[in-house]
Amino acid sequence: MPPWQSKHRGTLTPYIAVNGIDGVMDFVRHVFDGEVVGTVLRHADGTVWNAHMRIGDSQIMLAEARGFGPHPAFLYTYVPNCDAAYAKALEAGAEGLMPPSDQFYGDRNAGVRDPAGNVWWLATHLEEVPADELHRRAAAHEAAKVKG
Task: Give the model confidence (pLDDT) of 81-124 as tens digits.
Answer: 999 999 999 999 999 999 999 999 999 999 999 999 999 999 99
Mean pLDDT of the region 23-44: 96
Task: Look at residue 2 and tell me whether its pLDDT is greater than 80.
Answer: no
pLDDT at residue number 36: 97
pTM as predicted: 0.89
Cα–Cα dist 62/147, whole Å: 42
Helix (H, G, I), strand (E, B) or coil at 119: strand
State the Rg of the chain over Cα.
18
| pLDDT score recorded for residue 6 | 67
Could you tell me the domains of the chain?
Answer: 15-147 (3.10.180.10)
